[in-house]
Amino acid sequence: MSALNGSRTAFAAERAREDFPIFGETPHGKPLVFLDSAASAQKPRAVIDAVRHCYEAEYANIQRGVYYLSQRVTENFEGARDKARVLIGAAESREIVFVSGATEAINLVAHSFVRARFERGDEVVISHMEHHSNIVPWQMLRDELGLEIKVVPIDDAGEFQLDAYAALLGPRTRLVAVTHVSNALGTITPAAEIVRLAHARDIPVLFDGAQAVPHLPVDVTALDCDFYAFSSHKLYGPSGIGVLYGKAEHLEAMPPYQGGGEMILSVSFERTEYADIPHKFEAGTPNIAGAVGFGAAIDYLRGFDMAAVRAHEQALLDYATARLTEINSVRIYGTAEHKCGVISFAVDDVHPHDVGTILDLEGVSVRTGHHCAQPVMDRFDIPATVRASFGLYNTEADVDALVAGIRKVLEVFS
């Protein structure tokens, strides 16, 4: 009996799979094997129903309406904020800023926290395994303000090099901005040590948690990070909505980076008085139904024994790693001791896009390319990888279908 089979007494992925209507689809006449949750997870019926109900039965603009529908949907919108607070262990709901996703969350910090405080020659420390959304905003500020970007190396296993990180922290370091879990390699970074070493020098820390929150327990209060960014759509919720967590002391001191309706207390032609946090960062009409669906996704997840879900996903990752290692032509990139949810690999002498195309014809959906992490590809001197990533609905049978599809690739290119 595999480790995965042993975990099913606590969590039945096959039963959870029934909650996701998409698995009734048969691409190219084959049962759908969806292994691209790191890009965007599928949506359970509870989330789809919540979004539909919002539009059908309670839609109105939020916050300022005195009528029933507006008050009702405002209550659900703000309820989703509190659900997000509980999910990541934030102390107060006002520390939860709704944004379009992790990308906007990082850009908000770049524009409202960094721009107002940094001077030419000040440093931002990132790592070699960052998603482009945690590289490009800092490059833009580097080019505009003269900031310096320092990069923590990774080793051949894709491990974050903690000693090198400590050595990069200097008197001009003003922010550490690193991933919690690598989207390209699955590496879990040593988050607690990253914070401890930075805070010893009074350096604030931002985590890109887009890949972490769906798979790991996250407690921002215990972690003591200053900012944490994540997205709904990787958490089985709608796209176009996400969260920036920020310590209240930081958010209160930061200016808004967008102006408009909803983020003000009063406006005259002479001056504007901004709303309190978090609303001063939420200009304009937000993704109302998205937030409601996000709240439903959190409710859905919290309906499971999350420790059992994590055990299931870890056993599935172990099983998939073992099965792929059996194929001599497969090279796995990212073999860190602590990983979750992701296996990136290449097949000898076959371009990843060709692998992905043949797998698709077998009903297996994987991601191919650089995964918005080109520096990772450069580190391993490869143009791209095939990435299989898992969600709570994946099973051992999905891994078997992936392996069978790779063997089909080898037949085609033999």
How would you class 41 by CB atoms within 10 Å of its CB: exposed for 0-12, middle for 13-18, buried for 19 or more?
A: buried
Q: Which residues contact 287 (CB under 8 A, 6 or more apart)?
A: 98, 100, 238, 240, 241
Q: Which of 54, 225, 340, 372 is catalytic?
A: 372
Rg of the chain over all Cα atoms, to the nearest angstrom: 22
d(CA 275, CA 33): 46
Structure tokens belonging to residue 56: 């059908």
How would you class 6 by CB atoms within 10 Å of its CB: exposed for 0-12, middle for 13-18, buried for 19 or more?
A: exposed
d(CA 96, CA 88): 10
Provide φ and ψ at 345, rounded to 5°: -150, 165
Structure tokens belonging to residue 52: 């539909």
Q: Cα–chain-centroid distance for residue 137?
A: 17
d(CA 372, CA 186): 14
Helix orientation angle between 288-302 and 68-88, rounded to the nearest 10 degrees:
50
How would you class 366 by CB atoms within 10 Å of its CB: exposed for 0-12, middle for 13-18, buried for 19 or more?
A: buried
d(CA 347, CA 356): 11
Give alpha helix (H) positions in 326-392: 352-361, 374-379
User: Is 340 labeled as catalytic in the residue annotation?
Assistant: no
Whether omega before 153 lies within 30 degrees of 0, making that bond cis, reads no
Residues assigned a catalytic role: 372
